[in-house]
Structure 1
Amino acid sequence: MIVRVIALLLWLPMQAAAQGFAGLGTDAEGFAVPTPDPAFDFPQDHGPHPEYRIEWWYLTANLTGPDGTAYGVQWTLFRSALAPETREGWSDPQVWFAHAAVTTPDRHLVAERIARGGIGQAGVTVDPFDAWIDDWRMAGPSFDDLTLTARGNAFAYDLDLQATGPLVFHGENGFSVKSAQGQASYYYSQPFYEVTGSLTLPQGDVPVTGAAWLDREWSSQPLAETQSGWDWFSLSLESGDKLMGFLLREDDGGAFTSATWIASDGTTTAYPDGAFAAQPLDWHEVAGRDVPTRWAVQLPDKGIDVTVQALNPDAWMALSIPYWEGPVTVEGSHEGRGYLEMTGYE
């Protein structure tokens, strides 16, 4: 029985790792799929949607210590379904896993947790909001007022998050198209968190302040079969405006793009395929892979022409599903900070 349980816990992450992120383009038969004109229901939609195959609560934060040192923090809870239902106990087909990281200019510290649904080890409730896996937690009286905790072998963090702006919705009112063939997700963000708290690092505790961005997304087939990975940018500019943009790489060398301009007051402008551009400028070898860690990013309609540079080019997430994730700086037509995620680099 123990061997069977361990195999079930590990099956989904190992399958995803073997397929690469192109596995997210496999058939969604039996699962719900996103459709246009979503009608979101809050706070209920802050919680899980087990009828969809993949979902995440994805927070990144750009932080600063007392001496001006820049830090990055990631906290991500993933839900993946083996079947579109929930059950009590070990037979529940929902698999949960989570990633946490702290990035400094010269270190990248990561940890991972894996859990089975149905036994209380991981989950999300909405009133009050509580997302957890083991002793990692993002919880508070509401989605706008949260405490975030996680720990690994060489790090921990304890952060308070206070939202100062509204939720924003990507694509067509939260229906985010991912390919020319029409694959899509439901996608909204809270990009306006102010952060205070502390990091526990090998050299000791560090008080930090800064800003965080939380992405909520769910789907059953977010990629097309011809797409192998993505490059995703969340950029917070000194003007108070923000930019989310991604390109989904095609096997033939092309890419599908999408972007959302978020004004400082929370109003948004959605941009279709082709309006947003990102080109690698420099590549860096990490974990035996060449990964682009310096980019030219443009959104001509808003006068954006910037260079996005990794704070630490070695921010590789060496976990059961490997990818690159880390804080970045923004220079050029606009100044700022943000986060970059890159998947599917073999």
Structure 2
Amino acid sequence: MATRKGKLLGSIVGCVVIFVLLSTAYYLYFYSRDYHSQSSRAVSSVLTAQSSKVFEPVLPNVPVVLPRDFAFHNEFQHEWWHYFANVTDQHGEEYGVQWSYFRVAHSDNDFTGWLSPQIYASHIVISNGRQVWREQRISRGGIGQAGMSNAPFRIWIDNWYWRSLGKTPFPGQLTASSDSFDLSLTTTVKGPYVLPGERGYREKHDLLPVASYNLTAPFLRVKGELKLGDSKLIQVEGSAWMSKEWGSGLMTEQQQGWDWFVLHLDDETTLSLSRYRHEAQLPYIFGTLATNDGKVIDIAPDEISLIPLQSTFISSTKKVPLHWTINIPRYDISLTTKVLNSSLWLPFVIPYWEGPISATGSHNAKGFIQLTGY
């Protein structure tokens, strides 16, 4: 009798596991198919609040607190880490390195294991002026394939991980391997953290209650090595930027996408600009200027002129504005941007264009640009 019960229990457990696996595959398949078909709807479908779900709202007067808020916030629907690095090898060749890590909850339940509602996606992109190396990983939460620990700090998915020895990400090491590349980068802080907006609370719309919590580490030094294809190890070093954003509904249903610029104006000053595009409404623009002595300046929309100069066809049907002018007269900023490599449309779960840029004019700057919804 005990043997029969054991076999029955084993069959039930097996069926549950198979059902969850198939459900996850079905969910991810249709998630990806929708994203690859129409990128503007794809971004919106992931980052728009779901009225049938109950997640924590993003509220003003709730400041971001460090190091506490380096941890995951599973009570919110979305969480998004970004790391950009502009590095140079011993021969002076420039490379861009991008690491993104997403957490998206498709349900507001708190189940664990195979029933966890958390979906994780991460991608790494390495580029120079001629080539692009990229890969994406996707995982269901709750089974150990992806996740985070706080003491010490560690974020991982498969054999990709960011880790440090303390409760903050820095000094930290990003390590990743794939069939086409390997990288190992050590990143240290050379300036203060920045909490944009109102102590980390950042509005994304001038009429609707759309906002997120944010923190950035804009003053970073990076050093390490890359292995690209069959090449020898390439020693690189340069500057980097890390940001984290979380909330519930990071976009409105009428939002088309956004344009995000990150620039190291010099060794002491960084600039971040965002332009949120909406249907039947002028774009909502905002920015943050930060210095490594702790000064943080919020730049008002009417102080910023952010104009696309030229759009580039990256396929027979897709056109993306890769060249821009940036003017902020109050702070003596006048720049024209240029991309290092135009072939950086990323056809991932969340599809967008993202890559390293340089800028000339009032400053000789380097950084990154992210363009979604095109």
Paired residue for 1:259? 287
* Mapping for residues 1-346 of structure 1, pairs under 5 Å: 1=18, 2-10=21-29, 12-14=31-33, 19-23=41-45, 24-28=47-51, 29-142=53-166, 143-180=169-206, 181-202=208-229, 203-252=231-280, 254-288=282-316, 289-345=318-374
Measured in 2, the distance between the counterparts of 1:304 and 1:46 equals: 32
Summarize deviations over 1:274-332 as a string: whole Å, max 9, x none. Answer: 32231111221113411111110122221111011111111111223221000000100
Partner AA of 2:160 in structure 1: W
Identify which range, 68-77 or 197-206, moves more after superposition.
197-206
Which 4+ residue blocks in structure 1 deviate beyond 6 angstroms? none
Q: Deviations over 1:85-109 (max 9, x none)?
A: 4432110001000011001101122
Mark the CA change 1:128 to 1:310 in structure 2 (over 3 Å): closer, same or farther: same
State how far apart, in whole Å, the 2-side matches of 1:204 and 1:67 are: 14
SS in structure 1 of the partner of residue 233 of structure 2: strand
Please state how far the C-alpha of 1:206 moved relative to its aligned partner: 0.8
How far off its partner does 1:271 sit? 2.0
Deviation at 1:158, TM superposition (A): 0.6
Single out whichever of 184-193 and 19-28 deviates more from structure 2. 19-28
The answer on whether the counterparts of 1:111 and 1:151 sit within 8 Å (CA) in structure 2 is: no
The alpha carbon displacement at 1:26 in A equals 4.1
TM-score by structure 2 length?
A: 0.88
The structure number with the bigger radius of gyration is 2
Amino acid at match of 1:333: S
- In structure 2, the CA distance between the partners of 1:161 and 1:55, relative to structure 1 (3 Å rule), is same
Instruction: Name the structure with the higher strand share.
Output: 1
Backbone CA RMSD of aligned residues: 1.7
CA 1:114–1:310 in 2, change beyond 3 Å: closer, same or farther?
same
Residue type of the alignment partner of 2:306: A
Query: CA–CA distance in 2 between the matches of 1:75 and 1:239?
Result: 22
Aligned residues: 345
TM-score by length of 1: 0.95
- Structure 2: gaps of 5 or more residues: 1-17
SS at match of 2:22: helix
2:24 partner SS = helix
2:56–2:248: 8 Å Cα contact kept in structure 1?
yes
Give distance in 1, aligned partners of 2:27 and 2:280.
Answer: 35
Given that 2:63 and 2:198 are in contact with CA atoms closer than 8 Å, whether structure 1 keeps it comes out as: no
Q: Partners in 2 of 1:27 and 1:84 — Cα distance?
A: 10
Maintained 8 Å contact 2:64/2:214? no
| Code of the aligned partner of 1:308 | T
Identity score, percent: 32
Does the CA contact (< 8 Å) of 1:111 and 1:153 recur in 2?
no
Q: Does structure 2 retain, via aligned residues, the 8 Å contact 1:110–1:152?
A: no
In structure 2, C-alpha distance between the alignment counterparts of 1:217 and 1:320, rounded to whole Å: 18
**Rounded Cα–Cα distance in structure 1 between residues aligned with 2:248 and 2:30:** 18
Unaligned runs of 5+ in 1: none
